[in-house]
Structure 1
């Protein structure tokens, strides 16, 4: 038993992304590779959700507490459709690997798809087919074979060998189907149908099986789906209580007795196979077709606590639960968790392990830019690394459950997560959004979501909704009460919020919630009004700022204050659809970062922090140009769609990482048409003083002019070619500097890569950054040269981008126009490849090309 547990520990702790994770009694295998796919813009099979619903609704029964949905007595539909038959010839279909987003390859301008949804062809019906091989042991009657789907957009229905097994309509849900009774020895045909309507979202939802797919083989007696709950009700530096609840499921034909034991291991502490604590073995009998809970707790001495950097460390533990009979291991189930305490203080904000942690968070949609909604581990890791460098310590999953892998990364990196369920309840925001599913599916969707995510230490609170309609109504308050009670019943250890943009302190909705979450209200003084009304509730800004800008573009004159509307003079070029990167403009409902910082500081310490809208630009919602002929992606991001930081990045870094010796000045200094014109210089830095020189002439040394000022401004500087230098000082000593030089004519390309070595698994990514430079190596900030990517060796170009919301070039294109001097290429290795991948970039009209080498291993 000891040796088996050690192997499990190593498999899970060191091979989280392996295709197959073996554990004694349980095998979980990736089903991501080698699918056949076809998309249809017209219905090819005469099916619909309404015709399939009677066979899909019973899947919700495991997650609802009231009246169960009956199993239909009639034969299930779809058995005669060619696509579900093993005899169907799918040679003409596209071969794809999962996760897969059928819409991201474009083209832009898809008929009927709004700018809000990104103008990409998400609509239609998609069919996926794959052959599964089953052994005699698989169908022996002693095993259960499950299909686990992390996410499929949307209205999924699954057939195995022509039999409708079930499905799940909500595209953001994770769910399981039992394939056992339809499986046969040898080849089996698995077919999955998805259907996306137009107007099913306010942002780009993606399309297809866009998260991971798994095949799970276990004994008929096993730990149930999401069948453990680990909590740490008492935590100190000396010891911690770890409570483990295990749900044992018996899908066999007879009652069985089983021994349940759990050992706790510290992940990554170098202690090898030694358990830090063991929960005593409990013997329980489970009747056929039933489930039983086994509860117990254990004390972990000298616990290594999970907490957010930089003041704390995200230590992790692993609970290894074993079901056995005598010396035979029946099932092994692993649960990664953290030991930490959370306090929601009305007077002092959020406390993790009794330490106040100011929430420096961003809201984030689920797409990964040019890769679309198809989950990729490296793409998500890169996004989080960029946010961490800025100083962010928290994420809000706007406005839906994320891929479960994102929470794994958050656990490892120490991000705090506000885990959000819904964008709407019974009242919708678009014609075909979640309000159509809410009456029959909200309980099952919410309970499944909580059970899936509740063991993640990164999750610090649950959000049941975002800016739901009719926040003043009694109906909405009743819906909130129901939803919050569901969350509490599944996880009493965390508090619940809903992001409110319209509710007032006197409305019923905020009174129902554990945490007051305010969208854009704090900047107008409403923090105080809500705090006075609800002195026993923690408050934070669940959505703040909504500042909009286009990276590297600047317009004049510059507003004299630190907040502006995008429609005001100097803030935008409406014809070109660009917004000034002086980072002062908001769309009307939000504010500049500066104004938000003022409100946050004004109400310290009891305001717990903020979640900025947004960390990254995202596909869809191109406010203010979402109409006909408008842009493809948002302007809200602190970082653009390609992952290039906007100037705002350093404004947040100066506030969120004040200890970092950093000076950032703007704008660029290539303005041949502005000689002698006022061209304001702004500096973002945590320095106490900053001095600016233009061509060696000081423009003055300035201090931050007191509380509430977050940028240094020289609004009277007149442009002349040359260089502008900003030097920051702290304690009277130079602390950092930044230089902008006037660029000459574009002459060459400076090419670099984020990582020189990647895995040769066909999924790991290298991000190639391209700068257009002059003959002295200075980036040319206003160039739009077209660059062409080519790849030699065992790799391929996945996508290109430039962060320009107006660029309608399809993402797979090897040709990409530079935007504000930058372009991006995303490269991966061929599956199973090893060796050197050479990426060459050539520029239209440029003398010198650029090249980088990436090694696949």
Structure 2
């Protein structure tokens, strides 16, 4: 029996035990902290203060639990968690991104019990990005009868996709008979019974079963019964193979990975891993044209994997950002050598039955791969993952140029340097700063140097897939130099999407691309270099900066034109238009290495009449022509699916037409200006159950967004809890836990958790009008 254990908690800062607050999990305590220049984590974590927190919950236990096996499962606590039950130590766990379990046997008593969890995050700095703090993923109690399946022992493997044959493995804690049923939406397709003890294994053919794939993510359920213990496990029938001759294949069919890197946070919700928020993130990325996600740079949540299974999204689940060389003073470096077997074991147990997980990553930009000790560790971890799971390949995100720079003594971390110069960039941050200053060509040029090849080739031999961070200029030559090497762009620039697509279609050994990043995230600020105010770059080390700002999709889920560009490149969309905001058109921009453009898909720049701006047309065609209110602004050849025009803003219709070389029309699209009237529009996203994501937008009466309209929005909620409110603006001095927000290019968002059986009402007022929305129980938004 699995019991949700997320309600009825309190939390407090460890140094303020008298100030307790009632909460439900998941919870991110870091969002409640101040953002100041005194933050030892600094811009890496968005200027938040770090702290230690105590979470407590009183709960009743039936006396019969004293005779049963009771396990507490924590999906994620950041970090250095300590768990006590009724004042006695129950367990502890250091890594903040892995789930862990503690046994309650002998610690529970019939009647009232008290659990206490301490999350320690005052050891700053310990990360290069926003971590969140506390119990940020769900908690469950598992009550097992005397006869039971060993927890997490049920494994389902596709043996032969053509015959729809699967292998089922399960471990029993004692002698007995177990029954296994293959279920499809309540219908039993096949049943088999096994008698024994310990590890049981059987193979079953389900001839009528459909295969799982990106386009048709069919899921089945295994119902396993052992006495009173009933377990249900979702699975899909699919195999993964990869080699340099055929590429990456699912069920024998080649799939090119159109990937994006995503951090674990959920925008204005911080690190809280609500099931709806995790599923929403996956849907947003699927809509943006991606078929694969990389969990950068730590294991993802169970809810994330569940959503990827359902949506047909492929996953590279990543272990860690460091091995034994620190990037910040108190990060996980040094623990990996001692803990990797336990950590990787947990990773595999979490992932094994999820068809969406197609590979594991050992780490990200670990310069250890340039030296003998690190290469040995790479082999040890790869071999261990192969022992645990023979069905998935292993990679690691290696920055080729970074490996060379590290071996030459650049950007090397030391505690002494960190104490004397805490703001000095080291490791990946050092490399990123160079790229910000010198641009993406500098990074790609460095990766193409022979010495960068020399400092990575030995580590690449130890893994199944060679992960290249920003090494696209090596792809072509390395397919010839290393004919058996499988190449994956584990981290790439948006500007290189078209080149990647050309190479991947030409060379099967180039299996995919993961752009950095898919969604804007908290911390690691600022990477979107075009944020300006009054003609000057805003970023001066101010704690008002909260987010990196460099995603193809912003923190609240809006796509930038870069997302349209990649969709066009990957054949997901025929044509699109992006416009550099007309109010900024006369600015001089330093677009960062991670940004292709600052364009938006809008032609509503009220007040900018007569201003020149840049218009970008994206199409998989020979040439494109741009029309403004019926008048041609010229025809241009498309270079790698992109052409740039100059236009003087005037309201009306902006239309783009794509042509073949012979002049035939392939596709066309248009943008339309908003009217003079302005209203506050409120809209609730569909497809969520536990949370409501409500968009607050300034539009005209027809619903066309007005990006330049500003004005604070005040929100009140009845029948639910306002979990977060805010815009996606990277420069945001506000807290996301207030009832007032500004907008970012005309938009903000509220997230509400409804109270049981109550109608949710949101009321909003602004200088441009008021609005409200009502959501009744049982009605899917």
Please, what TM-score do these two structures have when normalized by structure 1?
A: 0.76
313-322 or 453-462: bigger deviation:
313-322
Q: Indicate which of 721, 743, 747 corresponds to 2:650.
A: 721
Whether contact under 8 Å (2:323, 2:332) holds in the other structure is yes
Distance 1:654 1:351 in 2: 23
**Secondary structure, aligned partner of 2:65:** coil
Q: Partners of 1:433 and 1:598 in 2: how far apart?
A: 39
**Does 1:834 find its partner at 2:748?**
no
Deviations 1:472-504 (A, max 9, x none): 101110010111111011001111011111254
**For residue 54 of structure 1, what is the aligned residue in structure 2?**
none
Which residue, out of 791, 795, 812, partners 2:737? 812
CA RMSD of aligned residues (A): 2.5
Answer whether contact 2:81 2:119 (CA < 8 A) is retained. Answer: yes
Q: 1:455 to 1:533 in 2, by over 3 A?
A: farther
Check conservation: 1:692, 1:727, Cα contact below 8 A.
yes
8 Å CA contact 2:395, 2:465 repeated in 1:
yes
1:120 offset after TM fit, Å?
2.2
Higher Cα radius of gyration: 1
Q: Is the 8 A contact 1:758 1:856 kept in 2?
A: no
Distance in 2, Cα, partners of 1:758 & 1:814 = 22
Residue in 1 aligned with 2:181?
263
Which residue of structure 2 aligns with residue 370 of structure 1? 268
Q: Deviations over 1:58-85 (max 9, x none)?
A: xxxxxxxxxxxxxxxxxxxxxxxxx8xx
- Aligned residue in 2 for 1:574: none
Residue 295 (structure 1) aligned to one of 201, 207, 210: 201
C-alpha distance in 1 between matches for 2:29 and 2:392: 37
Structure 2: distance between partners of 1:600 and 1:233 = 28
1:304 and 2:222 aligned? no
Q: 2:63 aligns with which of 121, 136, 149?
A: 136
CA–CA distance in 1 between the matches of 2:649 and 2:26? 51
Q: Distance in 2 between matches of 1:158 and 1:301?
A: 47
Matched, 1:634 2:548: yes
Secondary structure (helix, strand or coil) at the match of 1:384 reads helix
Please say if 1:210 is aligned against 2:136. yes
Say if 1:424 and 1:113 are closer, same or farther in 2 by CA, change over 3 A: closer
CA displacement 1:315-345 (0-9 Å, x = unmatched): 112222222xxxxx24222222111111103
Q: What is the alpha-carbon distance in structure 1 between the residues aligned to residue 642 and residue 239 of structure 2?
A: 36
Counterpart residue number, 2:155: 229
- The secondary structure found in structure 2 opposite 1:514 is coil
Q: Distance in 2 between matches of 1:676 and 1:130?
A: 62
Give CA deviations for 1:670-702 in whole Å, capped at 9, x if unaligned.
Answer: 668976665222122456654322233111345
User: Per-residue deviation at 1:599?
Assistant: 5.3
Q: Does residue 519 of the first structure (1) align with residue 469 of the second (2)?
A: yes
What does the per-residue CA deviation read over 1:152-175, in whole Å, with 9 as the maximum and x for residues that have no partner?
Answer: 111111111111111211111111
The alpha carbon displacement at 1:530 in A equals 3.1
User: 1:112: how far off?
Assistant: 2.3
Pairs aligned (count): 689
How far apart, CA to CA, are the structure 2 residues paired with 1:543 and 1:734? 32
Instruction: Tell me: CA distance 1:172–1:709, structure 2 relative to 1, closer, same or farther (3 Å).
Output: same
Aligned partners of 1:165 and 1:177 also within 8 Å: yes
Match for 2:220 among 296, 317, 337? 317
8 Å contact 2:129–2:522 — kept in the other structure? Answer: yes
**1:146 pairs with 2:78:** no
Q: How far off its partner does 1:359 sit?
A: 0.6
Equivalent position of 2:118 in the other structure: 193
Task: Select the residue among 356, 363, 376 that pairs with 1:458.
Answer: 356
**Offset at 1:736?**
4.0
Match of 2:579 in 1: 666
Q: Does 1:33 align with 2:7?
A: yes
Whether contact under 8 Å (2:617, 2:656) holds in the other structure is no
- Distance (whole Å) between structure 2 residues aligned to residue 281 and residue 421 of structure 1: 35
> CA offset at residue 795 of structure 1?
2.2
For residue 611 of structure 1, give the secondary structure of its aligned residue in structure 2: strand
Give, in angstroms, the shift of residue 783 of structure 1.
3.0
Moved more, 188-197 or 718-727: 718-727
Q: Report the secondary structure of 2:144's partner residue.
A: strand
Q: In the aligned structure 1, how far is the partner of 2:671 from the partner of 2:391?
A: 50
Look up the match of 1:843.
Answer: 766
**1:174 matches 2:99:** yes
> In 2, are the aligned partners of 1:758 and 1:854 still within 8 Å (CA)?
no
Identify which of 681, 684, 692 aligns with 2:618. Answer: 684
Distance 2:139 2:748 in 1: 33
Structure 2 residue aligned with 1:278: 191
Tell me by how many angstroms 1:302 deviates.
3.1
**Residue of structure 2 equivalent to 1:695:** 629
Residue 167 (structure 2) aligns with? 243
Structure 2 equivalent of residue 361 of structure 1: 259
Q: Is the 8 A contact 1:743 1:779 kept in 2?
A: no
Counterparts of 1:687 and 1:770 in 2: how far apart (Å)?
Answer: 36
Q: Is the 8 A contact 2:244 2:508 kept in 1?
A: no
Cα distance change, pair 281–718 in 1 and its aligned pair in 2 (3 A): closer
Note if contact 1:411-1:458 (Cα within 8 Å) is conserved in structure 2.
yes
Out of 714, 722, 731, which is 1:797 matched to? Answer: 722
Match of 2:485 in 1: 537
> 1:224 offset after TM fit, Å?
1.5
- 1:607 matched to 2:510? The reply is yes
User: Contact 1:505 / 1:529 at 8 angstroms: preserved in 2?
Assistant: no
8 Å CA contact 1:150–1:174 kept in 2: the answer is yes
1:442 is aligned, of 328, 336, 340, to 340
Pairwise mapping of residues 650-799 of structure 1 onto structure 2 (< 5 A)? Answer: 650-658=564-572, 660=573, 662-667=575-580, 668-669=602-603, 678-686=612-620, 690-702=624-636, 704=638, 709-714=640-645, 717-728=646-657, 732=664, 735-741=667-673, 744=676, 747-755=678-686, 759=689, 764-773=690-699, 779-791=705-717, 793-799=718-724
The verdict on how the C-alpha distance between 1:712 and 1:856 changes in structure 2, with shifts beyond 3 A counting, is farther
Aligned residue in 2 for 1:419 = 317
Aligned mates of 1:191, 1:810 — CA distance in 2: 28
Counterparts of 1:700 and 1:436, CA distance in 2: 59
Report the more deviating stretch, 202-211 or 379-388.
Answer: 379-388
Q: Distance in 2 between matches of 1:332 and 1:671?
A: 59
CA distance in 2, matches of 1:834, 1:677: 50
Distance in 1 between the 2:668 and 2:757 partners? 43
Shift of the 657–813 alpha-carbon distance from structure 1 to 2, 3 Å rule, reads: farther
Write out per-residue CA displacement over residues 360-407 of structure 1, whole angstroms, 9 at most, x where no aligned residue: 111110000110111111112222112111211111111111111111
Does the 8 Å contact 1:119/1:632 carry over to 2?
yes
Residue 508 of structure 1: CA displacement? 1.4
Alignment partners' CA distance in 2, 1:154 and 1:750:
40
Residue 813 of structure 1 aligns to a residue whose secondary structure is coil
TM-superposed CA distance for 1:604, in Å, is 3.2
For 1:640 and 1:264, the matched residues in 2 are separated by 41
- The alpha carbon displacement at 1:257 in A equals 2.2
| Matching residue of 2:598 | none
Match of 1:116 among 44, 49, 68: 44
Segment drifting more, 661-670 vs 205-214: 661-670
Change beyond 3 A, Cα 1:758–1:336: closer
Alignment-derived partner of residue 286 in structure 2? 388
The residue aligned with 2:410 is: none
| Unaligned stretches of 5+ residues in structure 1 | 1-26, 45-82, 84-89, 250-255, 285-291, 324-328, 548-590
- C-alpha distance in structure 2 between counterparts of 1:812 and 1:698, whole Å: 48
Q: Tell me, what secondary structure is at the counterpart of 1:435?
A: coil
What is the deviation of 1:780? 3.0
Residue 87 (structure 1) aligns with:
none
